[in-house]
Structure 1
Amino acid sequence: MTIDLGSTFATYNYLSKNLTTSLAQEAADPANARATAYFEENIGKITSIDDFVNNYQLFNYAMSAFGLEDMAYAKAYMKKVLESDLTDTSSFANKLSDSRFEAFATAFGGLKDGTAVDSTTITTTVNNYLQQSMEDNAGESDPGVQLALYFERNASGIKSAYDILADEALTEVVKTFLGLPDEMANADIDAQAKAITERIDIADLQDPDYVSKVLKQFTVLYDIENNSSTDPVLMLFDSSSSGEISDDTLASLMSLKYGGA
């Protein structure tokens, strides 16, 4: 189900504040309901990595749940991920910069020892799948909403600026929020990390209230940059600004942007 309220700011805030309802609507979608029922009924019967990756429905459902659907074709690669010893820092999954692979190995890596997937992992995977489906649907009409929902879901797992830079979606949100130029991507990775940590305290991303503030500002700025042919309000910002916007300023921007009194 796709909801579009006409702006990134409005649509994101609606979906975020009504997350339980939004996920219930995703679960009720006939295609999602069938896929989820099959996963719940059959994943517990799988006790080997080969059986898992060769079951198209189960494997693709799990890959989608962890945002890895684009890698579902790479079965040999994913087998190496699942066979990794996560207690060994030099193992294949641990050496990958994208934390989604480690999360996938954590969830399903027990299959390498013949251990069936437990009920907690099944529940987590289903919830992830529905969340991912909601984000993907939102992104079809407004990529900014998808970015904001993704950031909200993953912010608590960010431990350093390098975690942000390893993820294109997280980087896009932070870059927009902080007003960092596209050219920053050409800089040395350490210089990019420094540019981020000089402007935000990474530890603050563990605070849901701070994340909400970040995404409030991100969605307004995303609207200004992407959802209008002319952006006169951009002159209100100094290029050296940290991206801070007061609630009053946000209200003023939205009024200017969308024709309020």
Structure 2
Amino acid sequence: MYQPVIPLSGYGGWRFLSRTIDQQKEVYAASAAVQRTETYFRENIGSINSAEDLVNDRQLLEVALGAFGLEDDLYAKAFIQKVLDDGTLESAALSNKLSDKRYAALSKAFGFGDFDTPRTVLSDFADEILTRYKDRSFEVAVGEVDNDMRMALNLGPALNDILDTASTDTGRWFGVMGNTALRTVFETAMGFPSSFAAIDLDQQLDQFRDRAERMFGTSKVEDFANPEQQETLIRLYMIRSEAANFSATSAGSIALTLLQGG
């Protein structure tokens, strides 16, 4: 499997990855493993007519979940089938009750619970899902080299899913808070302590909005879809994350030196 090239950590590494990402994605997508996965998906997804059909085909399900960053749910077949069967049009649908809006995005994309005929039969459906799958699986590969880079790459797509599935700003902030990776980027960039997640959710919401307004000039999640705002958020995330990692490493080195000296 192709291993992304990231010669630097922190924001410098992010800038390098940003400049080379198109070429690196091309090489990744051309790898034998990705090509086999793509071929199988294209040949078989059109015959899938229900959520049950999908969850019972492991190879197709891997692509479906991977396309939305939900690959860890591969063995939660009953849960995923319920998310897909419920669709997204009814307020009582399971995906609409979940704070993590990746599930709503998955259900909406396949359309099993929303339409009499699922979207799997559309001529461009395979292209749509495979594009997402290759982007998300590339992020996973990046994360094996540097997880901070994976977090940064995930920012834009994760925000787009939230904007597409939550209609109010409050709902969108709860979507940010419900997505662990996305929340980590916002929390770190905004300088919140690790204990922040322990306070009341409504207080967290107020704090996110207040700090976003003071730091970025806006308290609306939709404004972070702006590439310039995203880059500012990523720069702060990278700088603060690297500083925290350096501090932890230095503290560990000092402790080890003291123990060895003793």
TM range (shorter): 0.7 to 0.9
Q: How many matched pairs?
A: 231
Q: Percent of pairs identical after alignment?
A: 30
Q: 1:131 to 1:85 in 2, by over 3 A?
A: closer
Q: 1:61 to 1:143 in 2, by over 3 A?
A: same
1:150 aligns with 2:169: no
Q: What pairs up with 1:70-109 in 2 under 5 angstroms?
A: 70-109=72-111
1:197 aligns with 2:197: no
Counterpart-to-counterpart distance in 1, 2:22 and 2:4: 15
Checking the alignment, whether the CA contact within 8 Å between 1:22 and 1:134 is kept in structure 2 is no
The Cα offsets for residues 97-127 of structure 1, whole Å up to 9 and x where unpaired, read as 1111111111113377353512333222111
Return the offset for 1:179: 0.7
Return the letter of the residue paired with 1:207: N
* Equivalent position to 2:40, from 35, 38, 53: 38
Q: What pairs up with 1:77-226 in 2 under 5 angstroms?
A: 77-110=79-112, 113-115=116-118, 117=120, 118-156=122-160, 157=162, 159=169, 160-200=172-212, 201-202=219-220, 203-226=222-245
Give TM-score scaled by structure 2 length: 0.81
- 2:129 aligns to what SS in structure 1? helix
Checking the alignment, whether the CA contact within 8 Å between 2:111 and 2:119 is kept in structure 1 is no
What stretches of structure 1 of length at least 5 have no aligned partner?
A: 232-261
The one of the two structures with greater contact order (alpha-carbon pairs below 8 A, sep at least 6) is 1
Which ranges of 4 or more aligned residues in structure 1 deviate by more than 4 Å?
A: none
Checking the alignment, whether the CA contact within 8 Å between 2:188 and 2:237 is kept in structure 1 is yes
Return the letter of the residue paired with 2:184: E
What stretches of structure 2 of length at least 5 have no aligned partner?
A: 164-168, 213-218, 252-262
Checking the alignment, whether the CA contact within 8 Å between 1:8 and 1:219 is kept in structure 2 is yes
Return the letter of the residue paired with 2:54: F
Return the letter of the residue paired with 1:115: P
Please report the RMSD computed on the Cα atoms of aligned residues, expressed in angstroms.
2.0
Return the offset for 1:230: 4.0
Counterpart-to-counterpart distance in 2, 1:144 and 1:98: 20
Return the offset for 1:142: 1.3
